Amino acid sequence: MSANEKLSSNIEEYLETIYKLSQKEEDVKTSKISKDLGITQASVSEMLKKLDKMNYVKYSQYKGVKLTDKGLKAAQKVTRKHRLLERFLHDILKLKDNLLHDQACEMEHSLSDEAERAMCQVLEYPDKCPGDSVIPACDFKFTSCDECLNRREEEVNEVGKRNENLIPIMDLKDHQKGKVSFIRGDYKVIRRLLDMGITIGAFISVVKIAPLSGPVEVAIRGSKLAIGRDIACNVFVELVE
Amino acid sequence: MNKDIEEGSQKPKRFKRSKKPEKNADTPQKIDYTIALAGNANVGKSVVFNELTGSNQIIGNWPGKTVERAVGKLSFEGKCIEIIDLPGIYSFSTYSMEEIVSREYIAFEKPDVVINVVDASVLERNLFFTIQLKEMNVPLIVCVNQIDLAKQKGIIIDTDKLSKALGVPVVSTVAIRGEGLHELMETAIESAAQNTVTDTNILKYGAEVENRIEKITEDIDSKNLDLGYPSRWVAIKLLENDPEIRKLVETQSREVVNHAYALAREIEDIHNEPSFSVIASERYFLANQFAFGAQLESKIKITFAEKLDKLVTHRVFGYIISALVVGGLLLWTFVVGDFLSGLLSNAFSFFQPVDPQTTGTLTSILWNGAFGGIVAGVTLVLPFVIPFYLMLSLIENSGILTRVAFMMDSAMHKIGLHGKALIPMILGYGCNVPAIESTRILETRRERLLAAFAITFAPCAARTIVILGLVAVYVNIWWAIALYGIDLLVMFVLGRLAYKVVPGEASGLIMEMHTFKVPSVSVAAKQTWARTKSLIYVVFPVYIIGSAAIQGLYALGLLTPVANALAPITVFWLGLPVIAGVVLIFGAVRKEFVLLMLVAIFGTNLATVLTPIQFVILALVSMLFLPCLATLTILLKEFGAKATAIIALANITTALIVGGLAYRLFLPFL
């Protein structure tokens, strides 16, 4: 991974859209992307081929498009900035709801990682944007928000960035296994999770997800737990084979 | 006595209590040993407790806390043993009331032995708590329960290995069949008689944590702090940043706290992780080692229970089954309850008419009131509550209820609660009082309060009588059903409103999905009896005194001026006759009084007294306007005066607004 690779705003917009659409289905259809971005299907295919070459997505004309690990990383990063910005514009600047999205779209590409971290701290580690979509986790090697809060700016470089992608447990697919790596939120929830065996480094898999955005049932340490969506979107794992 | 049972025989022995004539656990008697049962929820701890103590138990509250306290007595090999069933908890670290009660009990009351009941099929998670109990430095015995269910899954536990690893005796049991309990008690008595803690076998953490624990322990010991808890335990809690323990130590030595804080920061720097999280991981590391060292796991088999689980949480069938369970429970309660209620009412009316008496001497009126209170309790509360508790207990112990809560979680979110809150809400349909009491299963006070508030609108058995007796009989059944619908709507709207108004955040669902099992009827029966008993203590006195007092006041003519004063509200706003004021005041004691009083004053031909719209509005208002006296009592007990006053006020306001609007809206149709 080259840290300094600066993506064009255009690519970021594509990745963001594919990420958003891939929450609903594994392979995203070109037509949906075209509709979402308001760009012709032909131009979208063209761009997807380019992104495939750059190894951000796997694209096949018939099945649709899927983010690669590299693509997911970039997509989560820009989505995180977008949703944090929306939260910021909404909570702090009290902007009207209909202005949030476009404003955040403009700002997300120029927001530095340092500003992103500061914004997250000021907003007290929000887990959802005003539209109720989950904000992806940050890519520092923190295991909790407390750690982030306790570190000074110059210490953060020592902590470093994660190589693996973090995925909230409710996004785990059947038979995927994850290693608990980051739990967002205040210590009360974290302690309850720890007591039930969801500790940093523990292996976890999803048994089933209740419909109608109900809770997630996970298997951990030989026991099964039901975890409400609001908590499940704050438990992040790294995928393991 | 069980002397006839061979020692060391491999055959499972059924546990038998000695048949000593001790009828009542209240009777003072010399207690030889006190044993506490501790463990996670749903490991069969209550089954062990019930099997050991039988009906010889008292269920009450921990002093000053709304946490259930179950104490029982057992005579075993000539010794009188007191057994305390501690609440089911997973740890000593989240500061829930249950956890604080448990840890203070173990530290300060010092039971002779603590029996830690663990679930054989989820050993690792259970041992996490065992390790914390061991740190409390009490004589400990581990009871590996439900080995039959574990075996079905292909898990066999080597108790000797586990015992060696933990340094405490380990006994395996199938409590539901009484197997192994005799040996468990023998081991417990032996440990109690020795009353020594195996200090030598300390469970050690990883070096960087262990060294720091030892430093703080030395620090505490050298300063001779008198904390009540073992030094090593305090040291670990300080490293975990436990605020309660930190406060406790601060009162004696600020230095120790600061030292511990610095050491905790060191751990955090090494691991890039909060110290409490590091320690939890370390504990789980130990638990994992112990569990897998002792576990002879062939391979996990897919059991019938798991297939059943798939069906019950299926995206379509799951909802159908949930609906069937909830609907079935209500139907069962009403059908059986109605039948029993009718039977009992007939039996009582044989002795004396139970309609409120409004004329005659004061003593006879008071007597009539008090007797009516008893009758109301026996015929209205018990017939609905007992079948309900019994069935609830069965579906709770079987594990079905957990699945229903899992499926209904998202629906409950609409009123700021999670799936588990469904259980008390259902209970509210039978009687509000036990429903409010059972909100204790929820995590935070806010959630308990929100659930209790919604429950005060739940159409309980007494409200159903009013709706049916006034509206179904004198207007028609469709208006009765409509009122039921309005009530549910009010319950939902106000629940949602309260969720928006009451400050605080939803705590979210974290619930163990324990394995399905066949519930024991005898355990359910005992639970039902214990719960009913505690309900009787609340409801009956309130009913008896309240009914007598209100009838006395009426007979003395003290209520009529009040009713007149209320006339602007009752007559002008709600369109009711002046007498409605009196009727509603009666209804505040017991909801069904609304119907009974009208009959007592005007006879059964009420159609000549009230117009159809008045029947509907009176039923509606009496349904909503104030929780009954028994409900207020339990609210007061669980949430205090302020919350109770606010809930009562919200109820009255709602009743007046809804009643007044309904009067104006419905008038053209009636």
Residue type, B166: L
Same domain, B457 and B564: yes
Give me the residue from B409, B410, B510 closest to A192, CB to CB: B510
Q: Are both B230 and B324 inside the same structural domain?
A: no
B534 part of contact set with chain A, CB < 8 Å: no
Q: Does B318 touch chain A (CB under 8 A)?
A: yes
Please say whether the beta carbons of B430 and B613 come within 8 A: no
Contact (CB<8Å) A222/B410: no
- By the 8 A CB rule, do B66 and B637 touch? yes
**Distance from the A211 Cα atom to the nearest Cα atom in chain B, whole angstroms:** 6
Alpha carbons A71 and A21: distance in angstroms, whole number: 14
Question: Residue B84 in 3-state DSSP?
Answer: strand
Measured in degrees and rounded to the nearest 5, phi and psi for residue B119 equal -90, 120
Q: Are B234 and B249 in contact (CB under 8 A)?
A: yes
Which of B96, B261, B513 to mutate to test binding with chain A, by most A CBs within 10 Å of its CB?
B513
Q: Mean pLDDT lowest for which of A98-107, B166-175, B603-612?
A: B603-612
Do residues B399 and B536 both lie within one domain? yes
**Contact call for A190 and B277, based on CB within 8 A:** yes
CA angle B165, B167, B170 (to 5 degrees): 85
Structure tokens at B143: 């009871």
Query: Quick one: fold of A167-240?
Result: SH3 type barrels. (2.30.30)
Q: Supply the DSSP symbol for A173.
A: P
Give residue B352's pLDDT band: very low, low, confident or very high (50, 70, 90): low
Task: Tell if the CB–CB gap between A200 and B273 is shorter than 8 Å.
Answer: yes
Chain-wide mean pLDDT for chain B?
Answer: 83
B348 and B260 belong to one structural domain: no
Chain B residues with CB-CB distance to A197 below 8 A: 124-125, 128, 284
Specify whether the CB–CB gap between B282 and B271 falls below 8 A. no
Task: Give the closest-approach CA distance of B216 to chain A in angstroms.
Answer: 23
Nearest to A227 among B94, B288, B509 (CB): B509
Please report whether residue B514 resides in a domain: no
- Looking at residue A108, what is its pLDDT? 86
Q: Please say if the pLDDT value at position B25 is more than 50.
A: no
Burial status of residue B151 (CB atoms within 10 A of its CB: 0-12, 13-18, 19 or more): middle
**Do B225 and B179 reside in the same domain of the chain?**
no
CB B286 within 8 A of CB B296: no
Domain presence at residue B430: yes
Q: Phi and psi (nearest 5°) for B217?
A: -55, -45
B121 touches chain A (CB under 8 A): yes
* C-alpha span between B167 and B196 (Å, rounded): 13
Same domain, B348 and B455: yes
Contact status, residue B204 vs residue B166, Cβ threshold 8 Å: no
Nearest CB among A150, A194, A228 relative to B418 is that of A228
Indicate if B285 and B167 belong to the same structural domain.
no
CB of B305 within 8 Å of a chain A CB? The answer is no
Q: Is A24 helix (H, G, I), strand (E, B) or coil?
A: coil
Reported as a single tens digit per residue, the pLDDT across B71-127 is 888 888 888 999 999 988 898 876 678 888 898 899 888 899 999 999 998 899 999
pLDDT band at residue A236 under the 50/70/90 scheme: very high
Report domain A1-136's class: mainly alpha
B414 shares a domain with B560: yes
Q: Which residue of B has its CA nearest to A159?
A: B272
Query: pTM for this structure?
Result: 0.81
Q: Is B307 in contact with B179 (CB distance < 8 Å)?
A: no
User: A215 vs B419: CB contact, 8 Å cut-off?
Assistant: yes
Question: What digits encode the pLDDT tens for the residues B197-252?
Answer: 655 578 888 888 999 999 999 988 888 888 888 889 999 999 988 888 888 898 88
Segments forming the whole domain that contains residue B241? 207-297
For residue B132, the chain A residues in CB contact (below 8 A) are: none
Q: Is residue B602, in this structure, part of any structural domain at all?
A: yes
Contact criterion met (CB < 8 Å) for A197 and B125: yes
Do B523 and B50 touch, CB atoms closer than 8 A?
Answer: yes
Q: Percent of chain A, pLDDT > 90?
A: 16
pLDDT of the residue at B117: 95
B323 and B181 within one domain: no
**ipTM above threshold 0.90:** no
For residue B457, the distance in angstroms to the closest alpha carbon of chain A comes to 26
Give CA–CA dist B491/B621, Å, rounded: 14
Cβ-Cβ contacts under 8 Å, A215 against chain B: 406, 409-410, 419, 509, 511
CA angle B231, B236, B238 (to 5 degrees): 90
Quickly state the pLDDT bin for B344 (edges 50, 70, 90).
confident
Per-residue pLDDT, B187: 92
- The domain locations on chain A are 1-136, 167-240
Chain B segment 67-96 residues within 8 A of A by beta carbon are 90-91, 93-94
Q: What percentage of residues in chain A have a pLDDT greater than 70?
A: 98
Angle between helices B159-166 and B123-135 (to 10 degrees): 30
Tell me whether residues A224 and B508 touch, CB distance under 8 A. Answer: no
Quote the mean pLDDT of chain A. Answer: 86
Tell me chain B's radius of gyration from C-alpha atoms. Answer: 28
Give A176→chain B minimum CA distance, Å: 18
> A199 and B284 in contact by Cβ < 8 A?
yes
Pairing label, strands A223-227, B510-512: antiparallel
Same fold, A1-136 and A167-240: no
Task: Identify all chain A residues contacting B121, using CB atoms and an 8 Å cutoff.
Answer: 222
What domain count does chain B have? 3
Give me B575's structure tokens: 């369109």
| Beta carbons of B273 and A224 less than 8 Å apart | no
A93: which DSSP letter? S
Residue B645 in this model has a pLDDT that exceeds 90: yes
For residue B300, what is the nearest residue in chain A, using CA coordinates? A222
First to last CA, chain B: 72
Query: In chain B, which residue's Cα lies nearest the Cα of A233?
Result: B508
Close Cβ partners of B148 (under 8 Å, ≥ 6 residues apart):
B174, B177
Cross-chain CB nearest to B406 (options A141, A217, A222): A217
